[in-house]
Structure 1
Amino acid sequence: MKKLVLVLSLLILSVSCKSQNETVNANPKVFTPQNNPKLVVGIVVDQMRYDYLSRFYNKYSEGGFKRMMNEGFNCKNNHYNYIPTKTGPGHASIFTGTTPKYHGIIGNDWFDKKINDKVNCVEDNSVQPIGTNSKDGIKSPQRMLTTTFADENRLFTQLRGKTIGVSLKHRGAILPAGHTANAAFWLDYEHEGTGNWITSSFYMNRLPKWVEDFNTSNITESYFKEWNTLYPIESYTESGSDLNTFERILKGRETATFPYDLEELRTLNGNFKIIAESPYGNSLTTDFAIAAVDGEQLGQDEYTDVLTISYSSTDKIGHDYGVNAKETEDTYLRLDLDLERLFKVLDKKVGIGEYTVFLTSDHGAPDVPAYLYSEQIPAGLFNESAMFDDINMLLNDTYGITGLLLSRINNQLFFDHALIEKNNLNLQQIKQTAANGLLKYDLIDKVFITSEINILENTHGYVENMLANGHNQKRSGEVLFVYKPAVFKDTPWNRTGTDHHTGFNYDTHVPLLFFGKGIENGSTLKRTEIVDIAPTISALLGISFPNGSIGTPLEFVLEE
């Protein structure tokens, strides 16, 4: 009987296994490679508030911003989740999917505690300038601590997928492209530069022929021409009066009013720098980006390439003229046409439906404080230089030691630890003394101090959390202060035009548009954050997220 039971059991097991095998074999799983876009284009519009999309909407063409909004996906409530909102941190955060706490780009510049001096976010004295003798060529991404999605795409494709970064600003070209980029190119326009597109030996030892050809063409020089409004100036009803006291006046001019003769003004205003500070800088960037598509044959094989484009002139014009200026409106109307021109080239060269684009900004900006004040809205400028001297004097009076405070930058204070240890002083008491001194200033709203090992503790509030996300333990300062709304530091260049750095909505609320292959059509008012972009693109491509990414893929943006 036992033998019969055993035989029946084995028979049943055999039939069951055969049945399972037949079921598995009847529907075998076949691995199909992800149908990725041939090219991903990441566009950053420097200093673009979200409301520029809605404010100028009726004047935009159908092929630029509107095409992205109408055919793609519009995240209408997109924000930065850290302080400070500046260009370097913004570009790094967009493409790494993390914040300065982890990627380490805590400002455009910061105080380096090892050398007791200020450093630039892309400064690298180990490299040589290529295409120029200017110090603006000694740049690389080596200070950025984490990877970008472009880096991960390069690793995923065994370095077959290309990455090219383009911007007038070096940091706008370098940080988005990441550590493994084939190249990053920026314009040599500072310090009476050559007006050529340059790079550094971090990427190559000689400019490619297509870049040399671009530099020897007359394209850049052709933009020394009149800048007048694209449409009749009386139609620019979305902006304030052209003649006012809130805008920077160029050298050689008596008013900040249209038109501007750039050829006539170039000598007194930095030569090629005046192109960068006009909407023609964006047009030049578009020209060069299109040349890069051709010169590097981007999007022409089965491996996804990445092109990063940062439009810098919007930031420079915002700083000069402010949020409410007709110059700002005209710049965005012209940028819209540049985007249309770029998309038409991508349609032709890469193919409609074969590329993916996202567009965002590295920060926004407030209205000019003087303008707000004239309309009875609280605003102001704060003298940080006088504050620095006052706090150092307070520390000297309290502890009998001069020079305890070394630096103030990015709304942070840095102390001389060697001097503190030498005199056997209590670091935390010194921080507290400085913090109490800062709180006495009317325009400073909040002050925070870190622990002994420079960690922001008890970060449970909204502002506290944003400061913590922007705070790098090794690089950041130890006393942090926050201004009241619409307040920034008083400098000669900040008395007209605007600035940015805060955690207020005017600085954090920026556009986020997705468009092209793999992107749903629609919009959302759900809050999204800048760190969500890189993991979303990574998910689209089926690659690893950047190694420091803390964002969440925006599932509703991607086609199922």
Structure 2
Amino acid sequence: MKKLVLIALILTFIPVARAQKDPSEKPKLVVGIVVDQMRYDYLTRFYAKFDDNGFKRLINDGFSCNNNHFNYMPTLTAPGHASIFTGTTPRTHGIISNDWYNKFEKKSVYCAEDHSVHSVGTETADGEMSPHRMKTTTVSDQNRLHTQMRGKTIGVSLKDRGAILPAGHSANGAYWFQGREEGNFITSSYYMDKLPTWVTSFNSSAKAKSYMRPWKTLLDINTYTESGPDLNVFEGGFEGKKTAVFPYDLGGLNSANGGYDILKVTPYGNSLLVDFALAAIDGEQLGADMDTDFLTVSFSSTDYVGHNFGVNSKEIEDTYIRLDRDLGRLLNALDKKVGAGQYTVFLTADHAGVHVPSYLKSAKIPAGYFDSDAFDQAVQDFVSTAYGRDDLIENISNYQVFFSYKVLEENKIDAEELQKKIAHFALQYEQVNKVYTRAQLEQSGFTSGMEQLVENGFDQKRSGDVFIILDPAVISYGVTGSMHGTGYSYDTHVPLLFYGNGIKQGKTYAKTVIPDIATTISALLGIEFPNGFSGEVLSEVLK
């Protein structure tokens, strides 16, 4: 009888044991896709224009997090890419902006610049880049460590920061587009001494030149009812063309618009990047063995088009319709090259973007433009009058005020008192909504609201001493095109889609945040989390 009971118990537990995921069933390749300046509502606005192979495939066959937000500010490109892949916020990974005032070097620094390395693939200084300013590891770094460096990581983008920061510190390669007269993908000696054969072959194929053709809408422009009229006063356009209306003759406009750089401001830049990503999969044999590889792909043209034409333009609609087809092309190629069900994809954005304020004002929605130069001078004048000195403020940038602590110390001026006085003055200024001081951020643990977003973006060593928040839909920018950087929902709400190996089919409206991505992918792979992580595992996403 006891034997029968034992056998029954064993049989009861066998199905459970078989249901557990075999660690060897990890995806062969993880593809992390970032779409620069993509609002969440682009998925819903343009859904009817998408075909079945791109965004719809990711949404309907994968898992969609529909209430996904950045949990810090500023919502800019470099902090966005770093946060997605490190699983934490600028307060920990240290990429506090695209560029910032370095109080130790007494100058503005760029997030990826590194003059200790040299350019590879160009004679210009545009390749003097590395991830050395990013303090923490990425999920791809952790995968490299976990696989004893056998798992490869390749990062590609039109922007240097879009390729470098996602790929992490230990990447096999990161490549970005060198425009102007060259039209090539380049890299840095941080990764290698010369371009691989597959990259030189791609560059010599004149693929970039093939896109110097007219940009007209992919579909009948009269069907683009999800965007405003083609002719309006809210768009920038190109030098050499009087109006920002379709079509755009890139062959005739390129010389007045940066040569090959004009491709960045069209959907053809995204198409070129997919061409290069496919070449990378073949050239590096990504996903060809049982050690998981990483490919990070950052689509930058969406950001350039948004800044130029705005989020309500026909140009942005056409850019996303064409990006949808390029995504389908990438996914179909992954099915063939790596194998259907053998790879995992996640797609998100590094930030979203505001409607053009002049357009909002025309619709009677509160919005406006902020003269940051005038404000900076007003703050300087106020401090000079109050203290009789003009050297207490060392720098004002990125809506932050940096003090000269040496001068404060020499003159026995209390830093907290100066912070409070500037904050009180700034709050009287029109279009300034909130002001926070270093003392507040160092002494308080905010758990919600704009205060928490500012705190999560505050690096104690790199950030300033007073922080300025403008009114909603108020930007310091030109009167055409869209901008981003705030903690308001139009900048924080972005898509988050998971698809492929190990991913459930479904959706959620529960709030998720950007740092959750890297921790979720780490859990999927069974690897250690990035060393500064603050995100949660989205267990509902994983099988």
Do they fold alike, i.e. is TM over 0.5?
yes
1:466 corresponding residue in structure 2 = 453
Q: 1:149–1:546: 8 Å Cα contact kept in structure 2?
A: yes
> Aligned partners of 1:458, 1:555: CA distance in 2, in Å?
27
**Aligned residue pairs, count:** 533
1:485 corresponding residue in structure 2 = 472
1:475 corresponding residue in structure 2 = 462
Partner-residue secondary structure (3-state), 1:266: helix
1:93 corresponding residue in structure 2 = 83
What is the aligned counterpart of 1:128 among 111, 114, 118? 118
Percent identical = 53
1:72 aligns to 2:62 (yes or no): yes
What CA deviation, in whole Å up to 9, does each residue of 1:373-401 have, x standing for no partner?
01110001111111111111111111111
| Larger CA deviation: 314-323 vs 437-446 | 437-446
1:498 corresponding residue in structure 2 = 482
Runs (5+) with no aligned partner, structure 2: none
> Aligned partners of 1:145, 1:495: CA distance in 2, in Å?
36
1:271 corresponding residue in structure 2 = 259
1:356 corresponding residue in structure 2 = 344
> Aligned partners of 2:69, 2:13: CA distance in 1, in Å?
45
> Aligned partners of 1:157, 1:391: CA distance in 2, in Å?
53
Alignment of 1:18-97 (within 5 A): 33-97=23-87
What is the aligned counterpart of 2:509 among 516, 525, 533? 525
What is the one-letter code of the residue matched to 2:250? L
Partner-residue secondary structure (3-state), 2:439: coil
Alignment of 1:124-523 (within 5 A): 124-189=114-179, 192=180, 194-451=182-439, 455=442, 457=444, 459-490=446-477, 494-523=478-507
What is the one-letter code of the residue matched to 1:155? L
What is the one-letter code of the residue matched to 1:403? D
Partner-residue secondary structure (3-state), 1:293: helix
What is the one-letter code of the residue matched to 1:467? V
> Which has the higher Rg, Structure 1 or Structure 2?
1
Partner-residue secondary structure (3-state), 2:515: helix
Partner-residue secondary structure (3-state), 1:158: coil
Partner-residue secondary structure (3-state), 1:455: helix
What CA deviation, in whole Å up to 9, does each residue of 1:47-92 have, x standing for no partner?
0000000100011010000000111011111000001100000000
> Aligned partners of 2:424, 2:194: CA distance in 1, in Å?
54
Q: 1:388–1:408: 8 Å Cα contact kept in structure 2?
A: yes
Deviation (angstroms), 1:410: 2.0
Q: 2:24–2:290: 8 Å Cα contact kept in structure 1?
A: no
> Aligned partners of 1:283, 1:404: CA distance in 2, in Å?
50
> Aligned partners of 1:310, 1:193: CA distance in 2, in Å?
23
1:542 aligns to 2:526 (yes or no): yes
Partner-residue secondary structure (3-state), 1:320: helix
Deviation (angstroms), 1:313: 0.2
> Aligned partners of 1:146, 1:460: CA distance in 2, in Å?
23
Deviation (angstroms), 1:403: 2.6
What CA deviation, in whole Å up to 9, does each residue of 1:25-52 have, x standing for no partner?
x999999534100000000000000000
Q: 1:447–1:481: 8 Å Cα contact kept in structure 2?
A: yes
Partner-residue secondary structure (3-state), 2:272: helix
Q: 2:70–2:493: 8 Å Cα contact kept in structure 1?
A: yes
Q: 1:34–1:542: 8 Å Cα contact kept in structure 2?
A: no
Deviation (angstroms), 1:193: 5.1
| Larger CA deviation: 419-428 vs 351-360 | 419-428
What CA deviation, in whole Å up to 9, does each residue of 1:469-497 have, x standing for no partner?
0100000111011111101114xxx2210
Q: 1:413–1:478: 8 Å Cα contact kept in structure 2?
A: yes
What CA deviation, in whole Å up to 9, does each residue of 1:139-161 have, x standing for no partner?
00000000010000000000000
Deviation (angstroms), 1:111: 0.5
What CA deviation, in whole Å up to 9, does each residue of 1:330-388 have, x standing for no partner?
00000000000001110000001100000000000010000000111000111111111
> Aligned partners of 1:432, 1:363: CA distance in 2, in Å?
31
Distance 1:197 1:467, change over 3 A: same
- After superposing on structure 2, the runs of 4+ consecutive aligned residues of structure 1 that deviate more than 4 Å are 26-32
What is the aligned counterpart of 2:95 among 105, 113, 118? 105
> Aligned partners of 1:203, 1:60: CA distance in 2, in Å?
37
Deviation (angstroms), 1:459: 2.4
> Aligned partners of 1:320, 1:51: CA distance in 2, in Å?
19
Partner-residue secondary structure (3-state), 1:166: strand
Q: 1:450–1:457: 8 Å Cα contact kept in structure 2?
A: no
> Aligned partners of 2:278, 2:24: CA distance in 1, in Å?
27
Deviation (angstroms), 1:538: 0.4
Deviation (angstroms), 1:409: 2.0
Deviation (angstroms), 1:461: 4.4
RMSD (Å) for aligned C-alpha atoms: 1.9
> Aligned partners of 2:146, 2:418: CA distance in 1, in Å?
49
Partner-residue secondary structure (3-state), 1:203: coil
Distance 1:27 1:367, change over 3 A: closer
Q: 2:154–2:295: 8 Å Cα contact kept in structure 1?
A: yes
Partner-residue secondary structure (3-state), 2:32: strand
Deviation (angstroms), 1:422: 1.9
> Aligned partners of 1:93, 1:280: CA distance in 2, in Å?
27
TM, length-normalised to structure 2: 0.96
